[in-house]
Amino acid sequence: MAALAEQIENTLGGTADPQIVEGLNVYPMLEANPTPPAIDVYPGNPFQEQQASGKGNKRLNFNVRGRVNTPDNEGAQELLLSMMDPQGTASVEQALLEDRTLSGTVGYLSVDGPTDYGVFVEPNGAGAFLSCTWTVQVIP
């Protein structure tokens, strides 16, 4: 999860030069109370899928969730749509696919999504964010 988050951070966020998504916070785990714009990376459902018979032949699934603040509805939608655009400069998909081996830490990765976006209330009731999710499949 940390390698996925690091790749997004290096491509789009605070360590990118120039910053593509200004103020982007990237969390290498499920974040219940993010500071948007935010991306968190956490195990998907199912987390492990058998790829072939034998030990270690599994695919791992991760959710990569983008969330933006909704007080400026139009601006929030524009930002999230730019992150969803597969060919855009702020594309989360392109950031994830920039290095399919995550600097040699995995064998391969692919990306599905993004999902539709909508307003999601946070489990802790702290707020509602406009959000979408990508599913990243990793083969170790």
Q: Which residue has the tokens 């933006």?
A: 68
Give the pLDDT mean for 19-30.
93
Dihedral Cα 105, 110, 115, 117, nearest 10 deg: 50
Q: Which residue has the tokens 């060919």?
A: 87
At position 22, the amino acid (one-letter code) is E
* Bridging pattern class, strands 25-27 and 38-50: parallel
pLDDT at site 54: 64
Phi and psi at residue 23, to the nearest 5°: 75, 15
Phi and psi at residue 50, to the nearest 5°: -70, 130
| Tens-place pLDDT, residues 54-102 | 666 889 999 999 999 877 889 999 999 999 999 999 999 999 999 999 9
Mean pLDDT of all residues belonging to the chain: 90
Q: What is the pTM of this model?
A: 0.91
* Bridging pattern class, strands 25-27 and 58-69: unpaired
